[in-house]
Chain A
């Protein structure tokens, strides 16, 4: 049973560019959440998708957007990249009404 997978593992972009990160949830899970983890900090909640809709959103600008597909996989898009967007982006999947969230290995984004 595959756990949560994310791609790519690492990514280097320049300021102003756009990036798309991908996440496949654990088998049987229907909810995907995205978190940003800056170096030396704890993860911060970006948003959550359930039934292909954004269900909750953290304190992130509109440059951060997402999508969930019918197979429950998800994408995180970041437009107009800033140096401060450099971070580890973590995807977590869960089953609605169940408390535990399972995290993927993350995508390390570096913005130059």
Chain B
């Protein structure tokens, strides 16, 4: 079963605009991770935020986590055509790579040049 629910399911923006994707989940977590997937290929790890963190930055990425609302958001600033991909949030209930990342269905982002 899938725990995370990304919102929106699809997002289309122009290059240079910001893209915001949201993720909601159901059970307690140790950490939450965001991944990118290009055209049904492998997943690329973007950023990890732990349950005791509220915000994290990595380059043009900003992730927030609200454990009281069981939600997270991923912001991509100044988007580029190369950011076109599907983005998934994955919750980790236990931490320490004890397996069982729980993924949502993803947000399909299209960035038009």
The chain A residues found within 8 Å of chain B, CB to CB, are 4, 31, 33, 35, 39-45, 47-48, 55-56, 58-59, 88, 90, 92, 94-106, 108
Is there an interface contact between A99 and B96, defined as CB atoms closer than 8 Å?
Answer: yes
Q: Which residue of A lies closest to B96 (CB)?
A: A97
Cα A31 to Cα B99 in complex, Å, equals: 9
CB B85 to nearest CB in A, in angstroms, measures: 14
CB B110 to nearest CB in A, in angstroms, measures: 15
Is there an interface contact between B45 and A48, defined as CB atoms closer than 8 Å?
Answer: no
Q: Report the stretch among B11-19, B58-66, B71-79, B101-109 that lies at the interface.
A: B101-109
Q: Which residue of A lies closest to B94 (CB)?
A: A56
Are A103 and B48 also in contact (CB < 8 A) when A41-B2, A44-B2 are?
Answer: no
A-B contact pairs, 26 of them (CB 8 A): A33-B97, A35-B103, A40-B105, A42-B104, A42-B105, A43-B43, A44-B2, A44-B103, A45-B99, A45-B100, A45-B101, A47-B99, A55-B98, A56-B98, A56-B100, A58-B100, A92-B101, A99-B30, A99-B92, A99-B96, A99-B97, A100-B97, A101-B33, A101-B97, A102-B45, A106-B41
Residues of B in contact with A, size category: 20 to 34
Is there an interface contact between B99 and A90, defined as CB atoms closer than 8 Å?
Answer: no
CB A52 to nearest CB in B, in angstroms, measures: 15
The chain B residues found within 8 Å of chain A, CB to CB, are 1-2, 4, 30-31, 33, 35, 40-45, 48, 88, 90, 92, 95-106
Cα A104 to Cα B102 in complex, Å, equals: 17
Q: Which residue of A lies closest to B6 (CB)?
A: A42
Is there an interface contact between A105 and B41, defined as CB atoms closer than 8 Å?
Answer: yes
